[in-house]
Chains A and B, each alone.
Chain A
Amino acid sequence: MSAPLLSIADLKVRIRGNPQARLLRGVSLSIDRGETLAVVGESGCGKSLTSLAVMGLLPDGLEKSGGVIRFDGADLPVTDNEAMRKVRGRRIGMVFQEPMAALNPVFSIGDQVAEVIHEHEAVSHAAAMARVVDLLTQVQLPEPARIIHEYPHRLSGGQRQRVVIAMALACRPDLLIADEPTTALDVTVQAQIMRLLHDLQDDMGIAILLITHNLGLVAQMADRVAVMYAGRKVEEATTRMLFAAPQHPYTRGLLAATPRPGRRRPGEPPLTEIPGVVPAITEMPSGCRFRPRCMLASDICALEDPPFVDGVACHRAVSRELVP
């Protein structure tokens, strides 16, 4: 098998000047060309931070303190802003969570999409605009020739997310990072946007890193799933395996907390929640960070952080082979 398109090895991110505040504690992920990897987990588990680290866009005050990110066979210079500018928008596109806030209110749609093209390619304005119209057609916006002159406030949330997707795909990147692309949209629009992403992926052969907490989307879209908890990956499997035989208690908790109509057995509660919340970064427990919320926790869980072995990081994980 050839080298993966993107591979993240042991990525660590911490608050600058505070070695104790480890936000990412050695995350490893990899994505092949054309593949979709979903990263799931509760808010604050570090999934967005992972994607921002790949883009070299960590918020002020955070720093990458370890790990290697390789993209298309070369190290990605994530701390070198000038070098990363040639990657952002051209090799890696990104779609964000809040379409209502993702577009600059004072520039027309056409200008904003064309800006990516102008930044990375030497084309005339007319040629760039023609490509913008094509792109807007591709993301199935009605009347693209009119929309390029419109301003964001005249578009709906779903339309704006299509514009953001067009922007991310304008230079035909190899990888699209979609950070909660549909969370802010209503359900019917969610489905349309995900179908659009799926179709575009088929057409263009791009890989997608899908960050979400919506397991329904994962089931539809992803080839593989990585589950994150409190700054590290706790489980990874193909989508089919993960849903069929979740190993980590946290994954099982997530699945139990997801409504799955028609699968409910008599006497079973409709939804089970995972007790408690993700602990604050300053109050992380010893050993396994999921321990305080885990029903299966035993003495060893308090002593050491479980290593990631055979697709799961849990002392008490049920081996997949044993699952029928």
Chain B
Amino acid sequence: MSAPRRNLPFRFIGKRILQAVLTILGIAIINFFLLQLAPGDAAEALAGEAGTADAGYLANLRREFGLDRPLWEQLATFLMRIATFNLGYSFRYGETISTLILSRLPATLLLMATSIVIALVIGILFGVTAARYFNRLPDRLISLVALLFYATPPFWIGLMMILVFSVWLGWAPTGGMRDITAPDGGIAGVFDIARHLALPALTQAFFYLAIYTRLVRAGMLEVLSLDYIRVARAKGISEQRVAYRHALRNAVLPLVTVVGTNIGGFLGGAVLTETVFSWPGIGRLMFDAMLQRDLNLLLSILVLSSVFVVIANLAVDLIYPVINPTVELR
């Protein structure tokens, strides 16, 4: 009975990786053509900044960047690069794209992990508490707070956080990831990053928090009315244990799905937060690349982003049966 189940994930993962490759290829091609539709190119952006619109200069830049080649050839080059994991060169930054992305990725991952963990811990606590005190004061308060966070745009929360905690109270820096004067490691270095991380992470967390709270509350309300909860109570176990062990584990599945989506979408979703707090992450890199028509860089980030989504989805699918054994992978 359990033997076939043990083999299943490998076949499942193999199948899913094949699907993932095709998905990413499709996304890459669609993105390539979408970006072609946008007016302007890197040469124009560069020339604009240099203050020259001389036709010869532009043609030179375009030849240098390969922008004068036919479209299909540009696409082929782009796809070859992805296939060989050699993403090419950003003319804008004068660095290879892999270097650029790798240097920005840790900041984004740190911001993502921190904000999602904060949102999960508080969201689960809020959601369970609200469900246990359904329609009573704690539930009303929590639901109101969740609604407020949900309805408020994250960038505005970010700006208000800066105003209150940086400008008025002076507790945290207004932006960036570390002070120039801060030591480059050790406890002081970690503390310095944490100080910079607090506001953007909280800003991002508030938005997720609102969603997680509502999801957990709804799930808990449904599960708490089920027969096996009454059976659990009839065993004499504590209300705490009934809620967090028996009910939550059953109520948490939709949350896993949404967290997976949030993780997958984080590269794009963090643009606003990263911009407001000048956080040196992928989101801002992508935003700048778009403004500067650095299509190579932009496309690479978009592809990376789709890889993220695919991995996050796969992870969610693999976690599902661990949390709920009635879910079987096929």
The interface of chain A, by Cβ under 8 A from chain B, is 55, 57, 81, 84-90, 93-94, 96, 98, 101-107, 115-116, 119-120, 149-151, 153-154, 164, 167-168
Q: Which residues of A contact B1 (CB under 8 A)?
A: 150, 154
Chain B residues near A107 (CB-CB < 8 A): 246, 249
14 contacts between A and B (CB under 8 A): A57-B230, A88-B236, A89-B236, A93-B234, A104-B228, A104-B231, A104-B250, A105-B250, A106-B249, A106-B325, A107-B246, A115-B235, A115-B237, A149-B2
* Given A151-B326, A153-B326, A154-B1, CB of A102 within 8 Å of CB of B236: no
Q: Which residues of B contact A96 (CB under 8 A)?
A: 227, 230-231, 234
A89:B235 contact, CB within 8 angstroms: yes
Contact between chains at B227 and A102 (CB < 8 Å) = yes
- In the complex, the chain B residue whose C-beta lies closest to that of A108 is B325
Where chain A touches its partner, the secondary structure class is mixed
Within the complex, what minimum Cβ distance (angstroms) separates B242 from chain A?
A: 10
Inter-chain contacts of B249 with A (CB < 8 A): 104, 106-107
B325 touches A101 (CB 8 A): no
Interface SS of chain B: helix, strand, loop or mixed?
helix
Residue among A93, A115, A149 with most chain B CB within 10 A: A115
Q: Are B237 and A85 in contact (CB under 8 A)?
A: yes
The closest CB in chain A to the CB of B227 belongs to A101
A119 lies within 8 A of B326 (CB) = no
Interface check B63, CB cutoff 8 A = no
Contact of A116 among B227, B236, B239, B326 (CB under 8 A): B236
Q: How far is the CA of A150 from the CA of B5 in the complex (A)?
A: 13
Interface residues of B (CB under 8 A from A): 1-2, 226-228, 230-239, 246, 249-250, 323-326
How far apart sit A13 and B4, CA to CA, in the bound complex (Å)?
52
- Tally A-B pairs: CB < 8 A: 75
Expressed in whole angstroms, the minimum distance between the Cβ of B324 and any Cβ of chain A is 5
Bound form: Cα–Cα A89–B250 in Å: 23
Residues of B within 8 A of A104 (CB): 228, 231-232, 246, 249-250
Nearest chain-B residue to A149 (Cβ)? B2
| With A106-B324, A151-B325, A153-B325: A88-B246 Cβ-Cβ less than 8 Å | no
A167 to B, closest residue via Cβ = B235
**Bound Cα distance A55, B238 (Å):** 14
From B324, which residue of chain A is reached at the shortest CB distance? A106
In the complex, chain A residues whose CB is within 8 Å of the CB of B2: 149
* Extra contacts besides A96-B227, A106-B249 (5): CB < 8 Å: A90-B236, A104-B246, A115-B237, A116-B236, A153-B326
A186–B90 CA distance with the chains assembled, in angstroms: 72
Closest CB-CB distance, B260 to chain A, in whole Å? 19
Residues of A within 8 A of B228 (CB): 101-105
Cα–Cα distance between A57 and B231 once the two chains are bound (Å) = 10
Distance between A111 CB and nearest chain B CB, rounded to angstroms: 10
Across the interface, name the chain B residue whose C-beta is closest to A81.
B239
Chain A CB within 10 A, most for which of B232, B235, B323: B235
Contacts of B326 in A (CB 8 A): 105-106, 151, 153
B235 touches A119 (CB 8 A): yes
